[in-house]
Amino acid sequence: MNLPETDTSLFKRLRFVLVGTSHPGNIGAVARAMKTMGFSELYLVNPRFPDALTNDEAVAFASGAQDILQSAKIVSSIDDALTGCHFVAAVSARLREFSPPILSPRAFASHLSQMHENPVALVFGSERYGLPNEIVVNCNALINIPANPDYSSLNLAQAVQLLAYECRVAEIDEKIGSPEIGFQGKLASSDAIDGMYAHLENALMAIEFLDPASPKKLMPRLKRLFSRTQLEIEEVNIFRGIAKKIIEFKNDTTA
């Protein structure tokens, strides 16, 4: 699915940061994984080979994503790679005793899609040693991919592909639900929804659909139903208008 990309879209804001990558082929494969999902910001922190971006193996594994390699940046420190980023997540199969909050790839992607303007980053460690603790503890989140516990080691490019996919899906879902593509009203507050429930309950009692002496589980079930819909302000107003008319009609017929 093709979507218009703006400077504030996740496709433009998300950086993929590779720390101490050992194999040029993996860098090319990462570039390919990124491009297939629409991302382009690639940073390398102290790769093992100085020609990591022009190495024949990297170019071969990029397989049509050479433009990602050409625009990638090589820096000497993680701080340089993360300059300007407002949210940074480390990706690791190894959990630490002291670590930032742990997120699944999907939860991470959903969180990023709500941060509409700020640059963000995903940090991946080397194939041999992963990420050092001093980098992980300074990140905002630790992403742990729920792989087979008996064999949880993913190739670097596979991990990038998985995270890039989740981020793409989250961004597409966000765009489809935004006013840029279709109308979406402002969500109603919990106070407004509680007021609607009270009004609706009074209306149901007025027409004797709800017996206040034996209410059973009608209102809890209705609340459960509405809670799945993410009610908007106008929708709450519609239901309150219906409840008001029910009460008025009942009062008129019994007057």
Asked if residue 32 belongs to a domain, the reply is yes
Q: Is residue 33 one of the residues assigned to a domain?
A: yes
Q: What mean pLDDT value characterizes the chain?
A: 87
108: CATH: 3.40.1280.10
Kindly tell me if the per-residue pLDDT of 4 is higher than 50: no
* 120 lies in the same domain as 205: no
Q: Residue 231 is part of a domain; what is its CATH number?
A: 1.10.8.590
Q: In the prediction, which pLDDT does 192 show? A: 87
Residues 235 and 160 in one domain: no
130 and 221 fall within a common domain? no
The proportion of the chain whose per-residue pLDDT surpasses 90, expressed as a percent, equals 53
Domain end call among 121, 154, 176: 176
- Give the chain as a DSSP string: ------TTSHHHHEEEEEES---HHHHHHHHHHHHHTT--EEEEES-SSTTTTT-HHHHHHHTT-HHHHHH-EEESSHHHHTTT-SEEEEE-SS--SS-S-EE-HHHHHHHHHH--SS-EEEEE-BTTTB--HHHHTTSSEEE-----TTS-PPPHHHHHHHHHHHHHHHHHHHHHTSTTTS--PPBPPHHHHHHHHHHHHHHHHHTTSS-TTS-TTHHHHHHHHHHTT--BHHHHHHHHHHHHHHHHHHHHHH-
Same domain, 154 and 231: no
pLDDT at residue 204 is higher than 90: yes
Looking at the fold, whether 197 and 159 belong to one and the same domain comes out as no
- Does the residue 21 lie in any domain? yes
Residues 18 and 130 reside in one and the same domain: yes
Domain contains 1: no
The residue among 176, 198, 230 that closes a domain is: 176
- pLDDT attached to residue 98: 65
Note whether 213 and 168 are same-domain residues: no
pLDDT score of 182: 47
Give the pLDDT score at 125: 94
Statement to judge: residues 77 and 127 lie in one domain? yes
In a domain? residue 4 = no
61 falls within a domain: yes
Question: Mean pLDDT throughout 104-110?
Answer: 92
28 and 149 in a single domain? The answer is yes
- Asked whether residue 129 falls in the same domain as residue 206, the answer is no
- For the cut 80, the answer to whether the pLDDT of residue 225 exceeds it is yes
Tell me, what's the pLDDT at 5? 52
When divided into structural domains, the chain yields a total of 2
Q: Do 17 and 110 reside in the same domain of the chain?
A: yes
The answer on pLDDT for 178 being more than 50 is no
| In a shared domain, residues 195 and 168 | no
Would residue 52 count as lying in a domain?
yes
In a domain, 185, yes or no: no
Domain containing 62: what range? 10-176
